[in-house]
Each structure stands twice: as structure tokens, then as C-alpha cells.
Chains A and B, each alone.
Chain A
């Protein structure tokens, strides 16, 4: 398989350089953009496999850029790089289709793990025909069988309510990806979304209790505080 190309969009020179070093050291090809207009150009000419997008750019709103790139190539994985002061922007970016996020300051190991996950995810989707949705999901000791409508942990059946079952199915289907509260609520309640997300979160907590999830090291469902939930990829 050829080298993946990663487009790094970041206005700070030093951060862009160290991200580029880390990406090339890990065996990817890096393409660098310091602002939105260069990003637009390179996005079309270099056909990157993944975009690392800083939301605070000098010449345009990073969210606009995200929307444009997703409208040109829906399946392009985008990892948003955000600052703590811009918590809301991060959630909006995820709602607008960003695949993942890292918050500054981030460690390079964390960034590389996110890149690997996002790339693996998009390669898998590309490699599969659309309708080959397998009916059995497996993650660590957890097995979800859609055909039989069962969930088993270490071979023992776990009883979930209908809503809990659907939440778990969504997490499995989008393994590795952060699912925001609003996205999950939209999926589960459709047009009848409750005012606040407490019910969803109580459901989620109950699922996690049924899975005997440890808070210190959750393996099935991880909390992304203030954002949503994620089922971790097998690797991390």
C-alpha cells in the first residue's frame, strides 16, 4: 500500500513543523498549509488521505474549511485541532462531520494514535462494499449479535433495554469515532429529541455499569467530557 498523505493545516510555524516531523517519522507523507487558501489549493492538488485541521486560522474560519472539504470529499477523515478556549467550536466541528479532535496542548503519541485510528477507519470503509454490514460485532470480550438480538460479555448474556441496545449498536457501528451528544440523540429520538441530554447520559451510565466498565480504564465506552462518547479502537 502506498504512503498515506496527511495535510497539516496549522498557522503556527513551530507546531506545524513538529507535527510534520512526527508524521513523516511515522512513515506518512506530509503536506503543509499555513492558512485556509493554501489548504484549499493543496486539498485539491495533493488529494490527501487525512487532514489535520487547526480551527483558528488567520484568513478563514476553520469550520468553513471543514464544511467545504467535506462537501468535496465526504469520506475524507478530518481531525480537528482545537484550543481549550474554543470548546464549543470543537463540538460544532464534530457535529459538522469532523472525525476526531485533539485539544492543545496535545502529546505526539496521542496525535499519532488518532491519525492511525482515523486512517484505519477510512481504509476499512473504502475496502468494503456499502451493504456488507456484518451482523456480529466484537470488541474485546463484548459480542453483539444483531441477528439474534443478543449482547454477551465473556460469554454471559447481558440484558439491555431497547434504548440501551440501540446506543450500543451505534457505538459499535462507529467504533473509534467520537459520537457527540446531539448526534446520538438525533439517532435515537429522531424528531422527538428531549430538551437536554441527561436521559441519554443516564442510559449510557447504566450501559457502562452493566458492562462492568472501570472508570480508571474503560475499554468499551470512553467519555469525552463535554463532547460525547467513543468506543475505543482495539489498538488504543
Chain B
């Protein structure tokens, strides 16, 4: 369709320009006589035609037609063909050559333009593909990092589960094998041990569920406006049940500042940090939970006045790069996934765990949650 139209257009153009050349030559002829410039006018016409049309066809046709027209109308004897004229073959050859040269040049220019266009398109395509590849590459790297973290967590978890399970099943076997009346006191101790071990396992499983929730198919967490005081209340009550003797001090903002959070997961973070402090820091003074508004949101901090953390570990936590495994240990050689679970949870909240020294000694963990807008 488009091609036909182009052919028609070229044809009309050729005829029109030739007619124009004939018209101009006819006007010139009475004034100049034999020494007329019609040949030059027709050469000009052929050049124009050749440059405006596609391919060689129109140019060559126009040049042949021109020579015939020149011979017939504008060369003596007018109105007759005279091939024997001395200049005639030269006129034919020169117009033809003109047509050929101009057509070739035009074609080449057009081809160049087309090639340049093509090159541009290819570059754009290449660029696009490159961008896609980059994206895929970073996604792969991310998933590899995630897989690393997950396998590390799995390793640590199975170790952590096996220890209390061994203790529980061992203790139970001992109790069952003995005469309960004779060994009542000893059994009581074993049973208390069983309870302690199962509580430890329960915390561990909570952390596993939290981490699983983050890596779940659902993808992004749905963060909602939550009241920090409620999360802290819930955490403190839970800790009280596990550690009835722990002294916990609260220092919270006076205003109600809703934050964007998954409440259960943030409670888990607070609980892990408090549990770590209570179990490992050997802090003498009360543990403290504090909230303060800051530039980026609401800062939560949990501090103890215990023995502090080794510098290397603090650096690892602050850089946020390390997979916090095997780092915090206590006398039972338990490892725990508490800190790494905290980091994963906070990362899903666009936040990160920071650690510093408490004034006067001890450790302070902190993180910032974004403040939620509320329409009252």
C-alpha cells in the first residue's frame, strides 16, 4: 500500500518536473534560437528527479526521455528526430551519466541514513537488554545472599534445637527409669530443667516463625500504624513471665507517636534484645527501654549496664553486613538466632540495628521506626 503510493508519487514527480523543464525550455527557445540552454535545463531536471526519487529507474527514464525531448523540440530541425547530429550522442551520455551519478549518491545517502537509524535502534535495544541483565544479576545476587543467610540460620537452628531436645529427652528417660518416691528431690530439679529448656525452645521457634514470615511467599510485610507503648507493654509483660526477677525501666515519649510496624515482629525484636541483655550482659542495674522522636522517626533503645560487647562484634552489627551467627554465646554454648532475626525484621521495616556503649558501661541497642501519618 505504502510502496504503491510511493511509486505513484515518484512517477507524478518525474512527469511534473520533466514537463516543467519542457515548459521552461519552450519559453527560452524563441529568445535564444539555436544556441539555446535547453540541454542544461533538462540536465537540471534529471538531477532533481534523481535526487528526489527512490532507486535508479526514474532518473534513467527521465534522462532518456529528456534526450528524446531535447532532440525533438529544441534541436534543429525542430519537430524532427535527427540522430546524425554531431552533439547528440554526447548529450545522451552526459544526461544519462548525470542521472546515474546523482541516483547512486542519493541511494548511498539514503542507505547511510537508514544504517544510522538502524544502529541507533540496536544501541537502544542493547542498552535495554543490558539493563534487564543487570537487574537479573542483582536479583540473583540478592537471592544468593538470602539463601546464604537462610542456610546459616538453618544450621544454627538445628544445633540450637538439638541441644535442648537432648536435654529434655534425656531428663525424661532418667525420671522414668527411677522410682519417683526415692528420687523426688532430684527429679524435681530435672523437671525444672525440662521446663527451662522448653521455654528456650519456644523462644527459638518464635524467632524461626518470624524469619519464615519475612521470607514467605507474601513478599513485603504490610506495615500498619502501631502504638509503640502497646508493643513495649506486651513485650515487658512477656519478659516478666520469663524472668520474674529482671528489673525493667521504661522511659517513653509523652506524646502518642504511632509508628509503621508489624507489632508482633517488633515485639520479637525488643524481646530478643532484652533477653540477650538479661541472659548474657550480667548487668547489675535495671535494664531500660527508651523511646525518643528523632529526625528519621521514633528511636527505640534498649540498654543494660553489663559487661559490654567486644568491639569487633559491635562493628559487625553496626555495619549491618555480617550474618550474626556464632557470636553471642553464654555458658551453655548456645548460639541463638536472636540478633540475626532482629536484623532481618528491622531490614523489613527499612531500619537497622545499631549498637553503642551505654554511658557508664554496658551495651545499648537501638533502631528507628518510621512515624505513621494519621488522619484524625
Q: Which residues of A contact B (CB under 8 A)?
A: 84-85, 87, 105, 107, 194, 196, 198-199, 201-202, 204-206, 208-209, 215-218, 222-223, 225-226
Contacts and interface: CB of A to CB of B under 8 A. Distances in A.
A205 B240 contact: no
Nearest to A216: B236
B231 interface: yes
Contacts of B226: 201
A202 B267 contact: no
A84 B206 CA distance: 8
B93 interface: no
A131 B373 CA distance: 43
B373 to A, nearest CB: 9
Contact of B250 (A202, A206, A215, A222): A215
Given A198-B225, A205-B256, A225 B232 contact: no
A198 B233 contact: no
Contact of B240 (A107, A199, A216, A223): A216
B250 A225 contact: no
Given A216-B240, A225-B263, A199 B376 contact: yes
Given A199-B376, A202-B374, A223 B256 contact: no
A215 B376 contact: no
Contacts of A85: 209
A136 B200 CA distance: 45
Contacts of B229: 205, 208, 215
Nearest to B199: A105
Contacts of A107: 241
B250 A201 contact: no
Contact of B233 (A206, A209, A223): A223
26 contacts: A105-B202, A107-B241, A194-B375, A198-B225, A199-B375, A201-B225, A201-B227, A202-B258, A202-B374, A202-B376, A205-B227, A205-B229, A206-B256, A209-B256, A215-B233, A215-B250, A215-B252, A216-B236, A216-B237, A216-B250, A217-B237, A218-B233, A223-B234, A225-B230, A225-B267, A226-B263
A194 to B, nearest CB: 8
Interface in B205-264: 205-206, 209, 224-227, 229-234, 236-237, 240-241, 248, 250, 252, 256, 258, 263-264
B13 interface: no
A225 B311 CA distance: 36
B374 A84 contact: no
Nearest to B232: A215
Contact of A225 (B224, B258, B264): B264
The 7 A-B residue pairs whose C-beta atoms are closest, nearest first, are: A225-B234, A198-B225, A223-B230, A215-B233, A205-B256, A198-B374, A225-B263
Given A202-B374, A206-B256, A225 B231 contact: yes
Given A194-B375, A202-B227, 12 more contacts: A84-B209, A107-B241, A198-B225, A201-B226, A201-B230, A208-B229, A215-B236, A216-B236, A218-B233, A223-B230, A225-B267, A226-B263
B234 A198 contact: no
B152 to A, nearest CB: 22
Contacts of B250: 215-216
Contacts of B237: 216-217
A198 B258 contact: yes
A213 to B, nearest CB: 9
Nearest to A85: B209
Contact of A87 (B227, B231, B264): B264
B44 interface: no
B52 interface: no
Given A84-B206, A205-B256, A226 B264 contact: yes
B372 interface: yes
Contacts of A209: 256
A38 to B, nearest CB: 29
Contacts of A84: 205-206, 209
Contacts of B375: 194, 199
A196 B225 contact: yes
B248 A216 contact: yes
